């Protein structure tokens, strides 16, 4: 079964899963192997199975489809892989939710968890997390707390990065509003 790889939504596949995925992609990209859906042909209407996500998987006319056929086994493998990918995506979502809840717990326990909170926040930011207002308040409070010069630099650097990301997010939202200002053109 594919497994979530990190908190950004990536997945890790086994060699067998990659083989099945390659075959499925080759079949999808090669239009000569699949007849149009619901189009009558000389051998009758095209038949289709439904994948885990409800998409139709067409069978080419004249192909042997039935118990024990190669095509039937191939479709079952495609369906199993689709179900496994769906489960891995759900697991990745659960992992992201857990990491964000853990970040909230560390933030609530500040200043005692400063080191762990900063590590969690830095990891979340590196994975695409946009810091919220509570993160900025917590970082500003940590920057005001006495620490070694190296730790103060680390905190300040993370604060500046988080402020930049939060500002960029706010600007993007304002531009998206009806009547919002278009971004300024780049200088020549």
pLDDT per residue, tens digit, the chain (188 aa), is 566 565 555 667 777 777 777 777 777 777 655 444 444 443 444 444 544 445 455 544 444 445 556 778 888 888 888 888 788 778 888 888 999 999 999 999 999 999 999 999 999 998 889 999 999 999 999 999 999 999 999 999 999 999 999 999 999 988 888 876 666 666 65
Nearest to 136, CA basis, from 119, 161, 154 = 161
| Within-domain flag for 186 | no
Q: What token pair was written down for 135?
A: 């993160």
| Within-domain flag for 35 | no
| Within-domain flag for 140 | yes
Answer whether 107's CB lies under 8 Å from 135's CB: yes
- Please tell me the total count of domains within the chain: 2
pLDDT for position 183: 61
Q: Same domain for 77 and 169?
A: no
Global pTM?
Answer: 0.58
| Long-range Cβ contact pairs of 117-121 (< 8 A, separation 24 or more) | 117/142, 118/142, 118/154, 118/155, 118/158, 121/158, 121/162
Boundaries of domain holding 93:
1-30+66-108
| Within-domain flag for 58 | no
pLDDT for position 18: 75
Give the end of a domain, one of 53, 79, 108. Answer: 108
């Amino acid at each position: 079964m594919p497994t979530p790889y990190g908190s950004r939504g990536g997945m890790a596949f086994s060699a067998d899963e990659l083989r099945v995925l390659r075959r499925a992609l080759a079949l999808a990209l090669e239009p000569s192997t699949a007849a149009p859906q619901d189009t009558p042909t000389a051998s009758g209407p095209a038949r289709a199975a439904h994948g885990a996500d409800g998409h139709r998987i067409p069978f080419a006319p004249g192909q042997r489809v039935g118990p024990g056929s190669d095509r039937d086994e191939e479709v079952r493998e495609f369906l199993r892989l689709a179900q496994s990918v769906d489960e891995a995506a759900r697991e990745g979502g659960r992992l992201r939710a857990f990491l964000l809840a853990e970040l909230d717990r560390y933030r609530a326990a500040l200043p005692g968890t400063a080191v762990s909170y900063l590590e969690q926040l830095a990891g979340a930011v590196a994975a695409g997390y946009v810091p919220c207002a509570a993160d900025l308040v917590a970082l500003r409070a940590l920057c005001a707390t006495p620490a070694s010069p190296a730790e103060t630099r680390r905190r300040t650097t993370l604060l500046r990065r988080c402020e930049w990301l939060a500002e960029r997010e706010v600007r993007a939202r304002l531009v998206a509003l009806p009547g919002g200002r278009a971004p300024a053109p780049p200088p020549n």
